[in-house]
A and B are shown apart, each in its own frame.
Chain A
Amino acid sequence: MRPSLLKSTSELLRRSRRGYASSANPERKVAVLGAAGGIGQPLSLLMKLNPLVSSLSLYDIAGTPGVAADVSHINSPALVKGFMGDDQLGEALEGSDVVIIPAGVPRKPGMTRDDLFNINAGIVKALCTAIAKHCPNALVNMISNPVNSTVPIAAEVFKKAGTYDEKRLFGVTTLDVVRAKTFYAGKAGVPVTEVNVPVVGGHAGITILPLFSQATPASNSLSQEDIVALTKRTQDGGTEVVEAKAGKGSATLSMAYAGAVFADACLKGLNGVPDIVECSFVQSTVTELPFFASKVRLGKNGVEEVLGLGELSDFEKEGLENLKGELKSSIEKGIKFAHGN
């Protein structure tokens, strides 16, 4: 065959693949479990808009046909399919590169994330059992609260199934980072788009530890009182929204945004984009706790490197010690649940 004919034939084949916008990126399938919920719906929208996604699976126990029909009309490459109910969970998961789990019930005023444990622990356990069976290599992005416990639950389920890879399991703490950045920018008077603040520890109350001493751009104008106030506000950010919604739910839109940011980072890492660093709650040796949130570098295997905490101020060292007790017991509660049921 003449070389030019070969070339033009393959060009034609490549161009004729439906929705194949760019030849540079591999096909990526993302599944959203809980896609019809308060977080799931806007999250599904944002994932549909992400050109790195070639296939988007929307799963829930109800409502997904409507959400999928809606989202499928958007003229972006991701092929959308809706799945509803247990029988369709496996098909929803097959071949997934990233599985995002916002499924479960949200807080009402007066509740802690731990109050959700009883319902959400069972949901997460069932979903993870299916993941182990149908897409054991997927990167799992856990949003369902209480994350401090549901991530350890997931780990135990995967261990039992013999599929556990600690590099592929993430508790999504991105919203804490988003909040820390926003609150810091407001107080320090710097443009929010330039701000970076690591947030470590866990994803509930005082287990959330923002490291404002490492914030960039650095600010001389913040007093110790300001730092204390910013820390508290970051820790209580979720509660702030639960109260403002007065019974109508917890953070949905900002959580969808944060979830999409983190999922995008996972996809970029999988695609070999260098220097993708995000904070996430992962299996860790940074402290004596088995799971801990810190900066991690993402790559083709999920977590390529868990980064250390860096230099902490005295206030932050104190915060770190104070959070360990609660975080430890939340982790143990999750592990115990996974073994018991």
Chain B
Amino acid sequence: MAVAAIATLSFASVPCRKQQLRHGASTFNAQQFSASGSHWHSANLKWGVPRPRAAKRVIVAQTGTGSHKVAILGAAGGIGQPLSLLVKMSPLVSALHLYDIANVKGITADLSHCNTSAQVAGFTGKDELAGSLAGADVVVIPAGVPRKPGMTRDDLFGINAGIVKELVEAVADHAPGALIHVISNPVNSTVPIAAEVLKQKGAYDPRKLFGVTTLDVVRANAFVAARKGLPLADVDVPVVGGHARSTILPLLSKARPKAAFTDEEVEELTTRIQNAGTEVVEAKAGAGSATLSMAYAAARFLEASLRGLDGDDDVYECAYVQSQVVPELPFFASRVKLGREGIEEVVGSELRGLSEYEARALEALKPQLKASIDKGVAYVQQQQEAALN
């Protein structure tokens, strides 16, 4: 056959349906780059974890080029750059807008040379922010400063709250129907900030606002697979709560494939997953926080969202969203079903039948998470009051 299969970049989520996993459905596809005869097509790369109904999903990705416009705000930063590369490589994206306060021209020129379908354009500074957002289906926000050793995510609040507020105001004005993926820390607060800003502008749709917690899931999957000797491709561990230290709650009792954990293992794995971000900050010794793994996680969540927008009926990811799963907490991370309008369903069922350890941890995280949410909301309200006076 003369036509080579065009490999596609696909960061598929691990199967996380309510039903059981289909065995044998989830091996890595090693037919990545294709080569046929003397030709080679390496325009697209396919890496990722296939889910059940992999064939269906591949068809979604392969029929023609993608049609989605994505804007990345903070594209020149430590996360922004590798994220921009991964998104440029995605066959689901037709237009990629890169925005930052500086250094975007060079990154745009760099990426524009890649032989993938997404057309990339760069936008620099406040005056060009509106242009970067026009027509965006999804806006991803990694903008802001990263942690240094000894800092918590909350220590970033002072700087990043203002950045997120300003950017989301622009999204409300120029891309009000877009899905918004917030990466900027502290996510536990910046997502409520975004919500308040959008409400003030009359542009809030709780189905379309997400704090990206995918990296916690990725870490949980990696650490659990390693510890229990499970094939990586099959492992799925839901992570709920928030996105900082003990608000990160991996539900090991709900891990698939089903595995038995000793009490020590539960403690060790949970602690490691909660502190993994700090682990990287320390290892980087002042040079930053997780960038490459964060870029991967964000790209994975983006692709899941785009498949949802395309009408794929089987897209589930954990994310930090407006939620009623825990009554006291207006925002909470849990599994959500993604679809044409963003969130189709917040899946609360995994919060039932928790282990004792998890139930205690859930209670313990509530005050901290509530405080972070309140802090975000209060910030926006204070800003509004200050502006009126």
Show the binding face of A for B, using Cβ within 8 Å: 15-22, 24-25, 41-42, 44-46, 48-52, 63, 65-77, 175, 178-179, 181-182, 185, 191-196, 216, 237, 240-241, 244-246, 248-249, 251-254, 256-257, 260-261, 264-265, 268, 271, 273-278, 295, 307
Contacts and interface: CB of A to CB of B under 8 A. Distances in A.
Contact of B106 (A22, A66, A249, A260): A249
Contacts of B121: none
B293 A71 contact: yes
Interface string B75-113: 000000110110011010000000000010111111111
A89 to B, nearest CB: 20
A74 B218 contact: yes
A277 B39 contact: yes
B39 A45 contact: no
Interface in B33-74: 33, 35-45, 47-49, 65
Interface stretch (B220-228, B301-309, B323-331): B220-228
A237 B113 contact: yes
Contacts of B37: 275
A271 B30 CA distance: 11
B265 to A, nearest CB: 15
A46 B45 contact: yes
B185 interface: no
B255 interface: no
A48 to B, nearest CB: 8
B383 interface: no
A66 B115 contact: no
B27 interface: yes
Contacts of A182: 112-115
Interface stretch (B137-145, B153-161, B276-284, B360-368): B276-284
B287 A66 contact: yes
A178 B115 contact: yes
Contact of B38 (A45, A50, A257, A277): A277
Contacts of A237: 113
Contact of A50 (B47, B88, B231): B47
A66 B285 contact: yes
Interface in B271-313: 276, 279-280, 283-285, 287-288, 290-293, 295-296
| 3 pairs of A and B residues whose beta carbons are closest in the complex | A245-B106, A66-B284, A244-B109
B293 A74 contact: yes
A144 B109 CA distance: 20
A73 B219 contact: yes
Contacts of B218: 73-75
B229 interface: yes
B226 A254 contact: no
Contact of B32 (A50, A66, A73, A76): A50
Contacts of A19: 225-226, 231-232
Contacts of B14: 75
A254 B283 CA distance: 27
A257 B85 contact: yes
Contact of A73 (B43, B44, B82, B293): B293
Contact of B283 (A22, A69, A76, A192): A69
Given A72-B222, A246-B106, A251-B113, 19 more contacts: A18-B225, A18-B229, A70-B290, A73-B276, A74-B293, A77-B28, A182-B112, A182-B113, A182-B114, A216-B39, A245-B110, A253-B81, A253-B82, A253-B84, A257-B114, A261-B42, A271-B30, A276-B40, A277-B38
B116 interface: yes
B379 to A, nearest CB: 30
Interface in B194-220: 215, 218-219
B178 interface: no
23 contacts: A21-B28, A45-B296, A49-B45, A49-B48, A63-B287, A66-B284, A67-B284, A70-B290, A73-B280, A74-B292, A75-B222, A182-B114, A192-B116, A193-B65, A193-B115, A196-B40, A246-B105, A248-B103, A251-B110, A253-B114, A264-B33, A265-B40, A275-B37
Contacts of B47: 49-51, 76
Given A74-B296, A75-B49, A241 B110 contact: yes
B368 to A, nearest CB: 23
Contacts of B291: 41, 70
A279 to B, nearest CB: 9
